[in-house]
Chain A
């Protein structure tokens, strides 16, 4: 069991390390992650929302649908813990 786990871990790690070959070098300003939609966000967020903190602007405005269901997820987690654990005091 332990050797199987070790082998599976090593196989996954080697595959992922092989996958890093296709990444851009660290800190490259022209990497794919920072050249498509995030460029538009950075250039237009301040004039469209008047919020200097770009993270807040994206979190609350451009990606607020994501944030809304994130809030629902936390709420459901609290609800689940209460319903799993809490016992009635009598």
Chain B
């Protein structure tokens, strides 16, 4: 028990992101409304983005914008600057998530125009009949 508690305290951020991801995952597979599924996917993406950003944290380090002249003359200590690589990857992932949301919303508008509803089972009924 003591071991589990120290584990949670050292990594509580990962535990929070897993809980956030579970919320999104449940909305994606448990809900019948397509817009709710889409919102679940957005929550899922947010959890993954937060997870990646928190990987890059170093305790006691500064932001990855450095003083140019000091860096050119003395060099940079890698422990003093947080890891910029997850930030770069997530910068592009955020834009991709916006694009995915846009395309999905466009397809939802088309589905609503075609079938008049966004409930999954009603759409399946209309397709089969």
Contact = CB atoms under 8 A, between A and B. Distances in A.
| Contact present between A and B (CB < 8 A) | yes
Interface of A: 1-2, 5-6, 8-10, 12-13, 16-17, 20-21, 23, 25-29, 31, 33-34, 37-39, 41-43, 46-47, 50, 52-55, 58-59, 63, 66-67, 70, 73-74, 76-78, 80-81, 84-85
Contact of A16 (B21, B75, B102, B106): B21
B40 to A, nearest CB: 11
User: Top 5 closest A-B pairs, CB basis?
Assistant: A5-B30, A77-B99, A27-B59, A25-B10, A54-B64
Contacts of A52: 65-68, 71
A50 to B, nearest CB: 7
Interface of B: 7, 10-15, 18-19, 21-22, 25-26, 29-30, 54-61, 64-68, 71-72, 75-76, 78-79, 81-88, 91-92, 95-96, 99-100, 102-103, 106-107, 109-110
Contacts of A25: 10-11
A77 to B, nearest CB: 3
A2 B30 contact: yes
Given A25-B10, A29-B58, A84-B107, A41 B85 contact: yes
B19 A13 contact: yes
Contacts of A27: 57-60
A66 to B, nearest CB: 7
Given A16-B21, A43-B78, A55-B88, A34 B56 contact: yes
A83 B110 CA distance: 11
Contacts of A43: 75-76, 78
